[in-house]
Structure 1
Amino acid sequence: MLTLLNEEVHYQEISVKCSVGAISDYFRFGDKTFLQFTASLISARSSQNIEQRVANYLKVASSSDIIHRLKWLGLFDDSIIPFEKGTNLDVLLNRMLEKTQYAPGEKNMIILHIEIIAEFENGNKEKRIATMVVNGVPEGKSQCNRQLLIAQTVMHN
């Protein structure tokens, strides 16, 4: 019997964004700013001191990593959302795509670390550790899919 524990963290704040309603089907932008949009997600009537109010809503410190990441993403910016109609997810994707584009010649690197404890029918246990580094190709696609396929192939052999 093989028990496999595979933990991958892909943009952990997505669960926080779900909890504040950033992923929904409601259309409502007009000429709203990203700051106003964020305030509306927590039903704030104004966008004053919104970073602290979002932190309070999420029950985290205003200096927490998640608040810094939301700020980096631009959800507290006073710039206008570049489209009038869409979903909350459209706004979130707009910010993510704008912030996470690779520059010309830039490439990514994925590091995957897997620890496996195999338990055999005779009761013996073995711990196996594998670390894999996958380097991207400039002007190429992200290595995330390739890394996942390689890892699955290695695990099944």
Structure 2
Amino acid sequence: MNKAITSFLKAAILIMGLIVALLCIFLLPELAGDAAAEYPEFAYLKWPVLLGMYAAAIPFYIALYESWNLLRYIEGQTAFSDFSVQSLRRIRNCGIALGLIYAAGIIGVGAAGALHPGVFLMGAAIAFCSFVISVFAAVLKELLRSALTMKNENELTI
């Protein structure tokens, strides 16, 4: 793959990580405080929702790290390796974890009677996209595993 393309993708990973970090540090606490002040009957949900959002950041950053590793493998001409398969497996697991965290949050906030339709749609979209990414990573992992098997068989034949 072209060095410019992998550099662009690495820059995109860094920008995504920076944006989420800034949102977690600055915007989320302020929004949670504003929501608790505006809706005091749901103020008790401030910390559980914030903790859930921060918990969701963990698999997000693990997936970013594994994506960075995949780009390093591509640059090093070792994309067809067991390391890439492991990275794709971890990305799949992170996508599942992220989707489950958001689904649990939607269920929890909905059970408390505080689920705004806009928040539901946003959370459902994030959960759905996370599950789609995990399915895509699983498909890529299986394709890569098949390619590795064929590559190893061809090396043994020669």
Structure 1 or 2: larger helix share?
A: 2
Would you say same fold, with TM above 0.5?
Answer: no
Q: Which has the larger radius of gyration?
A: 1
- TM-score normalised to structure 1 length: 0.22
Structure 1 or 2: larger strand share?
A: 1
- TM-score normalised to structure 2 length: 0.22
